[in-house]
Amino acid sequence: MASLKQRVLDWLDLRLGLIRPLTDAATHPTPVNSASWLYVFGSAATVLLILQVVTGILLALVYSPSANEAWASLGLLNHTIPLGWYLRALHGWGSDFMIAIVLLHMVQVFLFGAYKFPRELTWIVGVGLLLLTLAMAFTGQVMRFDQDSYWGLGIGASIISRVPFIGAPLVHLLLGGPILGGATLSRFFTLHVFVIPGLLLAAVAVHIWMVLLHGVSDWPMPGRIVRRTTYQQQYHELTASTGIPFVPDAAWKDAVFAAAIILAVMACAFFFGPIGPSGVPDPTIIQTAPKPDFAFLWIYAVLAFLPTSLETPVMMIAPVLIIAALLLLPIFAGEGERHWSRRPVAVLLISVIAVTLGIFTHLGTYTPWSPIMDAWTSAPIPPSLLLNRTPLERQGALVLQDKQCRNCHSIAGAGGQRGPALDAIASRMTEDQIIRQVLQGGGNMPAYGNALNPSETKALMRFLMTLRGNNLAPAIDASTHLTHPTSSPPKP
């Protein structure tokens, strides 16, 4: 009885007044060329947000936002509460997927020039949504109140403490007190559960409202220039001639993609399980190498590579510049070509940013700049390097292990990567150069003058001089030959 449904809808609409506007919005005409598989990321991000809200509420039923109990309540969720592990996994993986989809959405909008007139404000609100999403990810990492979360917050406090003049009050504001503890967790819980989600939902509503108002942007064509004076008329002619109703003609692709993404989240959650928690957040346990979550690994890498003198300025200024550039983009590039083939700078920019973020994130996964704290007792010296060596040379190998050189230097691929590998060191540096480097330090190497006595130094040198890779020629000091014409360079 079709008329019954209609009668109910009419009854509701008369009282609610929302049925007709919502139907009109859902069925608004959209250019047929924008019903594409590349136009599905925004709706998928919205669906993921709903998943995060629902799983977040369910987790909050058990989670205890107190520094006394947070870590234990995660254990309860993981091990005792039925399906608690799965809810944590869904929420954790959902957050990773959400960041990825939001970024994809942004790249697509950028490459398609969809931020241009009249959709500038839609982009600006979208930048806000990206920042809010990242803020959710960071505060969410704090909710997982473990060692990584503790030291990650410590890093955050240390960065904030570098703000000139008001560093100390800012640190106290961030931590909620003089130390990182219960008050800190409470305020991040408040941000993660009340403040940021509220802003996020409101901004999503505004964002979607503007999408409906201006319509889905048409597929860009080379040579079809966006002008403030003509664009809206052209767009209306386009939708009038080629428009199809968004629901259902275009939206089925959105729905299929959203379902696929949710399935992927479920699969990751089921097969890989929840993320963490790592050890208890007890700062007296110092046997830890804290690491941020995936989305922030690139920042971790950048902080390791910045020269000391540049670090504070870069930390203070770079975020401001990046956010300002994102916000101002549509203001300064609101007109013109939309097609990527006519915007080489845009394509280059995206490529460079993607490669840079990719490389830094990759570096962040294995942190070559960090010493490996137990390499000196765990990384072996291959027997071939000790074969047919004199007692003094073997003693040198012991000194090398005992003085923790392996924490930063690898041999045969084992050991830290902070300093250069030592496999062929004697073919690159002369004995004098090595001695000077070891005893006096330089570059990233501390001076070992106080930690080595002369006999240890002697033994260490004898061993290092045997390290010539695949029997390469030993390094020679060209200047020796010039200043002492009589002495010939040492024979290999």
Contact segment (CB under 8 A) with other proteins among 46-54, 299-307, 424-432, 473-481 equals 299-307
Q: Which of 427, 438, 434, 418 is nearest to 367 (CA)?
A: 418
Which of residues 75 and 169 has its CB atom nearest to other proteins in the complex? 169
Residue 286 in contact with other proteins, rule: CB under 8 A: yes
Residue choice 273, 283, 420, 490 for contact with other proteins (CB under 8 A): 283
Separation between Cα atoms, residue 440 and residue 457, nearest integer Å? 12
Separation between Cα atoms, residue 353 and residue 97, nearest integer Å? 19
Contact segment (CB under 8 A) with other proteins among 6-14, 20-28, 60-68, 234-242 equals 60-68
**DSSP letter string, 241-292:** HHEEEIIIIIHHHHHHHHHHHHHHHHHHHHHH------S---TT--------
**CB 209: neighbour CB atoms within 10 A?**
13
Residue 384 DSSP label: G
Which of residues 186 and 430 has its CB atom nearest to other proteins in the complex? 186
Closest contact distance (angstroms) between CB of 181 and other proteins is: 3
CA dihedral 344, 349, 350, 354 (to 10 degrees): 140
Q: Which of 253, 258, 231 is nearest to 114 (CA)?
A: 231
Residue 408 in contact with other proteins, rule: CB under 8 A: yes
Residue choice 443, 478, 479, 491 for contact with other proteins (CB under 8 A): 443
Separation between Cα atoms, residue 93 and residue 137, nearest integer Å? 11
- Crossing angle of helices 84-111 and 344-366, rounded to 10°: 150
The first and second tokens of residue 87, run together, are 């809810």
Contact segment (CB under 8 A) with other proteins among 46-54, 117-125, 237-245, 366-374 equals 366-374
Residue choice 27, 33, 36, 66 for contact with other proteins (CB under 8 A): 66
Which of residues 210 and 399 has its CB atom nearest to other proteins in the complex? 399
Find the binding residues for other proteins in span 187-226 (CB under 8 A). none
- Crossing angle of helices 391-402 and 454-465, rounded to 10°: 110
Closest contact distance (angstroms) between CB of 437 and other proteins is: 10
Residue choice 319, 336, 441, 469 for contact with other proteins (CB under 8 A): 441
Q: Which of 303, 313, 296 is nearest to 357 (CA)?
A: 296
Q: Is the dihedral of CA 438, 384, 421, 419 positive or negative?
A: negative
Closest contact distance (angstroms) between CB of 398 and other proteins is: 11
Separation between Cα atoms, residue 294 and residue 134, nearest integer Å? 11
Separation between Cα atoms, residue 214 and residue 490, nearest integer Å? 78
Separation between Cα atoms, residue 296 and residue 138, nearest integer Å? 8
3-state percent breakdown (helix, strand, coil) of the chain, nearest 5: 65, 0, 30
Residue 363 in contact with other proteins, rule: CB under 8 A: no
The first and second tokens of residue 82, run together, are 């039925």
Residue choice 78, 232, 370, 430 for contact with other proteins (CB under 8 A): 370
Separation between Cα atoms, residue 410 and residue 17, nearest integer Å? 71
Residue choice 214, 342, 389, 403 for contact with other proteins (CB under 8 A): 403
Contact segment (CB under 8 A) with other proteins among 217-225, 297-305, 351-359, 426-434 equals 297-305
Which of residues 243 and 281 has its CB atom nearest to other proteins in the complex? 281
Residue 46 in contact with other proteins, rule: CB under 8 A: no
Residue 306 in contact with other proteins, rule: CB under 8 A: yes
Contact segment (CB under 8 A) with other proteins among 23-31, 116-124, 243-251, 276-284 equals 276-284
First CA to last CA across the chain, in angstroms?
98
Residue 406 in contact with other proteins, rule: CB under 8 A: no
Residue 76 DSSP label: I
The first and second tokens of residue 355, run together, are 């490669």
Find the binding residues for other proteins in span 413-432 (CB under 8 A). 418
Residue choice 9, 280, 398, 424 for contact with other proteins (CB under 8 A): 280
Separation between Cα atoms, residue 133 and residue 45, nearest integer Å? 10
Find the binding residues for other proteins in span 130-189 (CB under 8 A). 150-151, 154-155, 157-159, 161-163, 167-173, 175-184, 186
Contact segment (CB under 8 A) with other proteins among 125-133, 305-313, 333-341, 471-479 equals 305-313
Residue choice 213, 318, 325, 451 for contact with other proteins (CB under 8 A): 451
Residue 244's φ and ψ, nearest 5 degrees, are: -125, 150
Contact segment (CB under 8 A) with other proteins among 63-71, 125-133, 223-231, 254-262 equals 63-71
Residue choice 23, 356, 440, 455 for contact with other proteins (CB under 8 A): 440
Separation between Cα atoms, residue 345 and residue 351, nearest integer Å? 10
Residue 304 in contact with other proteins, rule: CB under 8 A: yes
Residue choice 13, 62, 69, 474 for contact with other proteins (CB under 8 A): 69
Contact segment (CB under 8 A) with other proteins among 62-70, 110-118, 220-228, 230-238 equals 62-70
**Identity at 259, one-letter amino acid code:** A
Which of residues 180 and 204 has its CB atom nearest to other proteins in the complex? 180
The first and second tokens of residue 179, run together, are 């130390």
Binding mask 71-90 for other proteins (x = CB under 8 A): x-------------------
